[in-house]
Amino acid sequence: MSEQGILVVVSGFSGAGKGTLIKAMLDRYHSYALSVSATTRAPREGEADGREYFFVTREKFEQMIEEEQLIEHAMYVNNYYGTPRQYVFQQMADGKDVILEIEIQGALKIKERFPEALLLFVMPPSADELRRRLVGRGTESEEIIDKRLHRAAEEASGITSYDYILINDKVEQCAQEMHELIQAQHRRVSGNLDFIEQMKAELKAV
Ligand code: 5GP
């Protein structure tokens, strides 16, 4: 059977708890690699270059686009975000499933370029809960929170392009569900055609 890893896109409204959820899954299961994106946004307190993001200038980002170093990129609330190609391909070749925590425009580009990718959308239990989490995080101004909530309303109409939604109420439970969905994707017939062909050939030879 093919040991190649798959691409897993995880999107969700800002404040839906994607980061915490992905961390819980990575802590528990070790067959995953998390892609670190490049961005032109400024680091938040506690974020480190090369860990949460590669923090780059706009000029550097545009050069990365030019040199085709990114498998997708998008503009989100006035900043560029993009997924570096090399790490993703390397990890997939090594048999790891690569998690891309990216927004919806990027997710749609990934689906177009890699139709076998799995697209997951993380939702909070309610819109009220979303606002509470964004305010509670305390890292953004009121104005940015409003922009992010506005963007969430826009993004809601794109959810139907995803394969599954995850309701992030209890983190541990949700992380396990995410793991199970990814494992199920590995078993899809369309992703195992070589194995099936091989089995057919072997059966003919019996
Ligand atoms: P934040 O500024 O809160 O870290 O991220 C803002 C949004 O950008 C989030 O929805 C996040 O998932 C998304 N994002 C992060 N990295 C990438 C990326 O490489 N590509 C795209 N398209 N979106 C990204």
Chain segment 166-197, per-residue pLDDT in tens: 999 999 999 999 999 999 999 999 989 999 99
Torsion (CA) 49, 54, 56, 59 in degrees, nearest 10: 160
pLDDT at 133: 85
Alpha helices in the chain (DSSP H): 18-28, 58-66, 85-93, 104-113, 127-137, 142-156, 171-186, 193-205
CA distance 84 to 118: 18
Average pLDDT over residues 48-62: 97
With a 6 Å cutoff on the Cβ, whether 40 touches ligand 1 is: no
Distance CA 86, CA 69 (A): 7
Is 185's C-beta closer than 6 angstroms to any atom of ligand 1? Answer: no
Cα of 43 from ligand 1 centre, angstroms: 13
Which of 133, 124, 138 shows the shortest CA–CA distance to 46? 138
What is the pLDDT, as a whole number, of residue 127?
86
170 phi, psi to nearest 5 deg: -100, 120
C-alpha to C-alpha distance for 135 and 64, rounded to whole angstroms: 34
Q: How deeply is 69 buried, as exposed, middle or buried, from its count of CB atoms within 10 A (0-12, 13-18, 19+)? A: middle
Query: What is the mean predicted confidence (pLDDT) over 140-152?
Result: 86
The reported pLDDT for the residue numbered 51 is 94
pLDDT class for 112, splitting at 50, 70, 90?
Answer: very high
Closest Cα to atom 14 of ligand 1: 102
pTM (2 d.p.): 0.90
pLDDT of amino acid 168: 93
The answer, yes or no, to whether residue 142 has pLDDT greater than 90, is no
Residue 139: its pLDDT value, please?
81
Q: How far is Cα 124 from Cα 14, in angstroms, rounded to an integer?
A: 10
Rounded to an integer, the average pLDDT of 116-131 is 92
Ligand 1 centroid to Cα of residue 77, in Å, is: 10
Q: Which residue has the tokens 């099936």?
A: 196
- To the nearest whole number, what is the mean pLDDT of the chain? 93
Extract the tokens encoding 103.
């927004």
Sequence-distant (6+) residues with CB within 8 A of 179 are 25, 28, 29
